[in-house]
Chains A and B, each alone.
Chain A
Amino acid sequence: MSNMKEYSLPVPVKPPAEIESLELPVPPGLDETALKEDELVLFVGPQHGGSGHMRLIVRVHGDVIKEVIPDPGFVHRGMEKLAENRLYIQNIPLLERPAIMDCINFSLGYVRAIEKALDIEVPERARYIRTMMAEICRIGTHLYDAGILAVFLGHTTGFMWPFALRELTCEALMRVSGARITASYVVPGGVRRDVDRGTLNYINEAMTYIQHKLKDFERVFITNPVTIARMKDVAVLSKKEAIKYGLVGPFLRASGVEYDVRAIEPYDAYDELTWDVIVADDGDSYSRFLVRANEILQSISIIRQCVKALKEMPEGNIISADVAEKKKPAKPAKPKEGEGEKGENEKAEKDGKEEKKGLDSIKGAFFRIFGKLTLPRGEYTTLTEASRGTVLYTIVSDGQSNAPYRLRIVTPGWFYLKGFMESLKGCRLADLQAVYGSFGYFPPEADR
């Protein structure tokens, strides 16, 4: 080797710009600069017990976090691109995948965008069913997040109990839609299946049980002195910061901003029900958790009201007649029981101007109704309050094809990732997971 000659070639080669982007999000020389400043760079994830499907690049000085650089995208599936190659109706199961526990809320946003484009009015019963199911999903997601938070704090009982309670919401989802998660239950114009009285009774009982067991959970985990010591005054985001970093949902409300899409731009049956927007003032980890814990109680109350209203309504009429190409005569409603007939009559008297009767069932007619669904040319945007915050859907349609020209989905996880990272500055290293749990950050949801 020593007697080899070195030839220099006069070819000007510069490293392409992509080389640098390959190192992203780790800035080049991060380790060296950190060492000079007596800091340690930690790579937490994606194969770490407390990182989820993402990587957190943490700069620690002693035990104090200086900076956290997020590296999301490990579970990016390209939802937006996939949606362009599917029929409008086929996108519903796809778009539930970001947050499978929160399936109803996620498909609700998309379906409402279609309804907005086609100018469909959803029957009352379908609206109530949708609201009820959305709130069941909200309870399930909040319980899931509470469990994850508990296990990140090392509290295994606080992990197991909410997961056991979540079984009830899964069971309710299964009885209504046929699937424990990813229900694909909401379709343009209404819902896929009707809810019978037995299921409504079950949902009522399940809510009573969850409310009862939540008291035990509160005693064991929520008011546990160790939990409070770990989360109180940790990762505080003031009202101003929360707005600046674009937090959404319960995390924004935990910082004292009273913003809830369900209250500001009510959709479905939310404006016909009585419920409170839960707000906390501290903006710390504990209040972020408490807001969601209290939202479970609000959801239970909403579900109770929905169940009560649904029991008074006649069965059937769950899909708007508009969706069936607007001319298809609805099947004559068959009153199944005497009380149904009576309720229908009452409603007809009360709501005199409702001339169109919706469909009772779409069994066997699914493809005929939805297969050729085409939206008029334009751009349609909806905001929906999912469990973890606002989810935004934009459908761009070219007016001819039966698949969206472009679909935009911004999930709450993506909205509050910045705030999450900012709040970590100045925390202890052990708080990394506690703050993670307090935000309930869910990488598949943020990565889409």
Chain B
Amino acid sequence: MLSYSSLLEMFRQNSVGIPLITRKVILYHTANKIAYIPPLTSLFAKIPLLNLIVALVFWKPFFAVVFAPGLVCILIAILFIIWFERKVTARVQWRYGPLEVSRSVGGIIQPMADGMRYFFQEVIVHREAHRPYFLQFPLITFLPVLLPILVIPAGAVYAINTPYSIPVAIALISLIPMIIVAIGWASNSKFAYIGSLREAIMYFSYEVVLIISAMAMVIAYGSANALTIVKEQSVVPGIVLNPFAALAFFVAIAMATSRFPFEIPEADQEVVFGPFIEYTGIIFGVVMTLAYEKLYLLCMLFSILFLGGWSGPFIPPLGDLSPAFWLFVKTIALMMIFVFFRTFYARYRLDQALKIGWSTLMALAIVALGVGIGLGATNIVGWL
């Protein structure tokens, strides 16, 4: 039985240190006296219940899942990337893109305005839908989106330090297509049915490649622990060691998150958002961001496996958040590359995507696996 004080002590033992918040702010100091504002966290240190809440918020597992690199970072990333996608596409296409909502900053709060609109829109559940599943599956999607955060560390901010972090993360991310297929089934309409089938076939075409190319890097580093993998990349990033794996993983991400040219399950000219055709209002907002959430997770995995993860110059005021910040920057940069594909690619057909997944991409992944095994056997990574 945990007592209140032991719980508090447990949270405080394993809390995120952010000097920016925990530092005392000195107002002035004369000969012997120093006047300062106590930090925000110690303000609540003596108040019961509030101190527990504050300690919980800065408790590393909670902080990782809810703030960075978890939910809050995902939301910021989505809001930014949707705006960026629209803006960069508009730039290429001789347009302005989102502008009117906040003219001075280039309409950057447009996604937020759209989200607000979704909130106040009516949610229609059509007669043929399997009502309970239709309404609950979009909310269940947060499970496979947030659970991988438990095992994907961001430097010092991590929830679970496990030697199987990469496989577990990939396994949990792989649950997302299941839920999309289930959404399509619950919608009970012809286009949703076709969309779910497309999602299933796309899943079949990229998943093996995704796993093989990730495992190639795991073999090369001799560990599946993300902390070890990033430590091994301190000199040479993984993308230099095994570019084949990086390329295969990159294309597999594009297929997995239905980015162009593989935006097949949701093709809005063909199956009108496929599995999500029947959704309206805020539930549509939730399912629409699903692909972006998946993109965020997979880009984070890509930067951990190939781009040196959270390594970057240390920023003292951020403290423990500094590596998380660098991971976030790398992830956002990768996402920006993925959404830029929209401007110059059309959409492949389903059978063509399947063929690409099992021929070219599979060959690339097998070469990557060979290279990974070679790297692992010769232990070149260890010498570096």
Known pairs A156-B89, A157-B92; A150 contacts B346 (CB<8 A): yes
Most buried by B among A49, A50, A154, A229: A154
Binary per-residue interface labels of chain B (224-251) against chain A in the complex, 1 for a CB within 8 Å, 0 otherwise: 0000000000000000000000000000
Q: Are B190 and A153 in contact (CB under 8 A)?
A: no
Interface residues in B332-374 by Cβ distance below 8 A to A read 342-352
Task: Check: A342 CB closer than 8 A to any chain B CB.
Answer: no
Q: Are A156 and B347 in contact (CB under 8 A)?
A: no
How far, in whole Å, are A17 and B351 apart by their CA atoms in the complex?
44
Binary per-residue interface labels of chain B (187-222) against chain A in the complex, 1 for a CB within 8 Å, 0 otherwise: 000110010000000000000000000000000000
B263: nearest chain-A partner, CB-CB: A154
How far, in whole Å, are A227 and B343 apart by their CA atoms in the complex?
13
How far, in whole Å, are A227 and B191 apart by their CA atoms in the complex?
24
Task: Check: B268 CB closer than 8 A to any chain A CB.
Answer: yes
Q: Are A430 and B349 in contact (CB under 8 A)?
A: yes
Q: Are A49 and B351 in contact (CB under 8 A)?
A: no
Known pairs A50-B270, A164-B94, A430-B270; A158 contacts B350 (CB<8 A): no
How far, in whole Å, are A153 and B94 apart by their CA atoms in the complex?
20
Q: Are A42 and B190 in contact (CB under 8 A)?
A: yes
Main secondary structure of the interface of A (DSSP, over half): helix
B287 to chain A, nearest CB (A): 18
How far, in whole Å, are A220 and B344 apart by their CA atoms in the complex?
6
Known pairs A161-B93, A433-B269; A428 contacts B351 (CB<8 A): yes
A226: nearest chain-B partner, CB-CB: B346
How far, in whole Å, are A6 and B185 apart by their CA atoms in the complex?
44
Interface residues in B254-282 by Cβ distance below 8 A to A read 260-261, 263-264, 267-270, 272
> A156 is contacted by which of B270, B343, B349, B352 (Cβ under 8 Å)?
B343
Q: Are B351 and A153 in contact (CB under 8 A)?
A: no
Q: Are A153 and B93 in contact (CB under 8 A)?
A: no
A225 to chain B, nearest CB (A): 9
B291 to chain A, nearest CB (A): 15
Q: Are A155 and B345 in contact (CB under 8 A)?
A: yes
Is the interface on chain B under 10, 10 to 19, 20 to 34, or 35 or more residues? 20 to 34
Interface residues in A133-178 by Cβ distance below 8 A to B read 150-161, 164
Task: Check: A429 CB closer than 8 A to any chain B CB.
Answer: yes
Task: Check: A347 CB closer than 8 A to any chain B CB.
Answer: no
Known pairs A161-B93, A164-B94; A226 contacts B270 (CB<8 A): no
> A157 is contacted by which of B269, B272, B343 (Cβ under 8 Å)?
B343
Q: Are A154 and B260 in contact (CB under 8 A)?
A: yes
B201: nearest chain-A partner, CB-CB: A63
Residues of B within 8 A of A154 (CB): 260-261, 263, 267, 269, 345-347
Binary per-residue interface labels of chain A (421-445) against chain B in the complex, 1 for a CB within 8 Å, 0 otherwise: 0000000111111000000000000
Interface residues in A2-50 by Cβ distance below 8 A to B read 40, 42, 48-50
How far, in whole Å, are A88 and B343 apart by their CA atoms in the complex?
48
Residues of A within 8 A of B191 (CB): 42
Task: Check: B33 CB closer than 8 A to any chain A CB.
Answer: no
A234: nearest chain-B partner, CB-CB: B349
Residues of A within 8 A of B93 (CB): 156-157, 159-161, 164
Task: Check: B29 CB closer than 8 A to any chain A CB.
Answer: no
Task: Check: B127 CB closer than 8 A to any chain A CB.
Answer: no
Q: Are A433 and B270 in contact (CB under 8 A)?
A: yes
Task: Check: B95 CB closer than 8 A to any chain A CB.
Answer: yes
Q: Are A158 and B264 in contact (CB under 8 A)?
A: no
How far, in whole Å, are A354 and B191 apart by their CA atoms in the complex?
66
Q: Are A224 and B272 in contact (CB under 8 A)?
A: no
Residues of A within 8 A of B345 (CB): 154-155, 224, 226
How far, in whole Å, are A161 and B343 apart by their CA atoms in the complex?
11
How far, in whole Å, are A33 and B264 apart by their CA atoms in the complex?
29
A159: nearest chain-B partner, CB-CB: B93
A323 to chain B, nearest CB (A): 44
Residues of B within 8 A of A151 (CB): 269
B188 to chain A, nearest CB (A): 14
B342: nearest chain-A partner, CB-CB: A156
Most buried by B among A152, A164, A221, A430: A430
Q: Are B270 and A224 in contact (CB under 8 A)?
A: no
Residues of B within 8 A of A230 (CB): 346-349, 352
How far, in whole Å, are A224 and B190 apart by their CA atoms in the complex?
32
Known pairs A42-B190, A160-B94; A49 contacts B348 (CB<8 A): no
How far, in whole Å, are A154 and B260 apart by their CA atoms in the complex?
8
Residues of B within 8 A of A429 (CB): 194, 270
Interface residues in A201-259 by Cβ distance below 8 A to B read 220-221, 224, 226-227, 229-230
Residues of B within 8 A of A42 (CB): 190-191, 194
Known pairs A48-B272, A152-B269, A226-B261; A157 contacts B350 (CB<8 A): no
Residues of A within 8 A of B263 (CB): 154
B251 to chain A, nearest CB (A): 13
B360 to chain A, nearest CB (A): 12
Residues of B within 8 A of A229 (CB): 348-349, 352
Binary per-residue interface labels of chain A (58-85) against chain B in the complex, 1 for a CB within 8 Å, 0 otherwise: 0000010000000000000000000000
Residues of B within 8 A of A164 (CB): 93-94
Residues of B within 8 A of A49 (CB): 268-269, 272
Known pairs A63-B351, A161-B94; A224 contacts B344 (CB<8 A): yes
How far, in whole Å, are A150 and B344 apart by their CA atoms in the complex?
11
Residues of B within 8 A of A224 (CB): 344-346
A214 to chain B, nearest CB (A): 14
Residues of B within 8 A of A48 (CB): 272
How far, in whole Å, are A150 and B346 apart by their CA atoms in the complex?
8
How far, in whole Å, are A157 and B88 apart by their CA atoms in the complex?
11
How far, in whole Å, are A353 and B261 apart by their CA atoms in the complex?
64
How far, in whole Å, are A130 and B331 apart by their CA atoms in the complex?
58
A62 to chain B, nearest CB (A): 9
Most buried by A among B95, B270, B352: B270
How far, in whole Å, are A29 and B69 apart by their CA atoms in the complex?
55
A166 to chain B, nearest CB (A): 12
How far, in whole Å, are A40 and B193 apart by their CA atoms in the complex?
11
A43: nearest chain-B partner, CB-CB: B190
Q: Which residues of B contact A (CB under 8 A)?
A: 89, 92-95, 190-191, 194, 260-261, 263-264, 267-270, 272, 342-352
**Apart from A154-B347, A156-B343, what are 4 other A-B pairs with CB-CB below 8 Å?**
A42-B191, A153-B269, A224-B346, A227-B346
Q: Which residues of A contact B (CB under 8 A)?
A: 40, 42, 48-50, 63, 150-161, 164, 220-221, 224, 226-227, 229-230, 428-433
5 A-B contacts (beta carbon < 8 Å): A42-B194, A160-B95, A230-B346, A230-B348, A428-B351
Closest 6 CB pairs of A and B: A154-B347, A160-B93, A155-B346, A50-B269, A153-B346, A226-B346
